[in-house]
Structure 1
């Protein structure tokens, strides 16, 4: 375990230096959700009638979760890039814990995500979003958000190690933008057709988004929804822990096997 911790910290540091050496990419990544908040909040917000609710307060939790789901694309691209460029092969020749390499990438991504969430929260407060629940509930909401980001990164790393190609990972990762659209991140699912509402409510993004809205005090839990959305905190934990339990070992195994 001490070897794993030592090697994991070294790999985390490598990933953080990677971010430091490409500050422009990091800034652009953080600006995207802020631009979406301003665009959706002011352009679409006036067109969406939500009785008893202000759309920007409804939107901010959804954008936080949609950004967390971006861990899928980020994890996929970074793992594929390291594999394609032979970095993973070099790591396998070194006396480094096999679990430390993917774990270090996921932890570094979590650190960057935590810091990157602050500007989005500040802009959300500036445009009228408020935390209307208790402080402990708000901390719990942020904890669920980061756990979900970690889970998405684990899924992305496994897929990136499978593709072994930056181009393929980029194209596959870009297609993941539809996942928040098939959820309640941007619009309520109440008026969707029955089959589409079922898909949206069993989307992990919907459970985490509903949990954040509930814990922040921004919107009540919808009635008559599928189990993950009707019990959003339990649903978020179940989805996130299941994804980590499945895909983190798969990523470690795939990295260890190579080829």
Structure 2
């Protein structure tokens, strides 16, 4: 099929998925609730006891909370994809002249839109709580680009989970480690005070360079080499997840 046909199929199915989201906006609200709860808890309960070098703690905290927002949101992608498969929707699509990859890309694009809305909600709450930034327009665009790339990477992981899962619980369970991974990073506290092995893990897992990059962009300070490490993690996860999803899809649906 032509590229224009594939694009048209993807946009049509994406519109279908987005219509479901708009009819049930509670999924976006639910996605934002837990990160907002973490914001309130850590800023107003733990913030005064955490030393972040004199910085405003909500400024320090927000990048990690944004990553948790995405990790929470992509669980719905795996859930919705699993329900489509269990309902036989993909088999019905196969009997129609629809590009095979369109259904998967529709779920991915829907996830991207829903997560961007949730990220905007969480950022708005952070502003109300005192978040301030000296970021330029270019820095904001860089923040948006990194968050989009991170969302795509985790969403394709969600697609893998949705395709491979045997139950609804199994489809969304993959997101739990992703949600708690920021707790073992520099998202909530500096890594310098962590015990040796924990500090090593925190400094060599994907969340820390992404958080440090976002933090520097928000603060308007030089990002250094962290941005390249962050991009490498995002692109690497995205590539592996995409290839895995394509392989599982071919095996299941031909």
Distance 1:191 1:78 in 2: 41
Q: CA RMSD in A?
A: 2.1
What is the aligned partner in structure 2 of residue 142 from structure 1?
Answer: 144
Q: So what's the TM-score if we normalise by structure 2?
A: 0.90
Distance 1:74 1:197 in 2: 32
What is the aligned partner in structure 2 of residue 256 from structure 1?
Answer: 250
Aligned structure 1 segments of 4 or more residues deviating by more than 6 angstroms: 218-221
Unmatched segments (≥5 aa) in structure 1: 222-229
Unmatched segments (≥5 aa) in structure 2: none
Q: Deviations over 1:209-233 (max 9, x none)?
A: 1110011117876xxxxxxxx7221
Cα drift, residue 234 of structure 1: 0.8
Match 1:33 to one of 32, 35, 51: 35
What is the aligned partner in structure 1 of residue 206 from structure 2?
Answer: 204
Q: 1:195 to 1:180 in 2, by over 3 A?
A: same
CA contact (8 A) 2:71 2:175 kept: no
CA contact (8 A) 1:69 1:148 kept: no
CA contact (8 A) 1:80 1:160 kept: yes
Moved more, 28-37 or 150-159: 28-37
- Superposed counterparts of 1:216-235, under 5 Å: 216-217=218-219, 231-235=225-229
Q: So what's the TM-score if we normalise by structure 1?
A: 0.88
Q: 1:253 to 1:100 in 2, by over 3 A?
A: farther
Q: 1:218 to 1:43 in 2, by over 3 A?
A: farther
- Superposed counterparts of 1:96-245, under 5 Å: 96-217=98-219, 231-245=225-239
Distance 1:114 1:177 in 2: 17
Distance 2:201 2:179 in 1: 16
CA contact (8 A) 2:213 2:230 kept: yes
Count of residue pairs brought into register by the alignment: 251
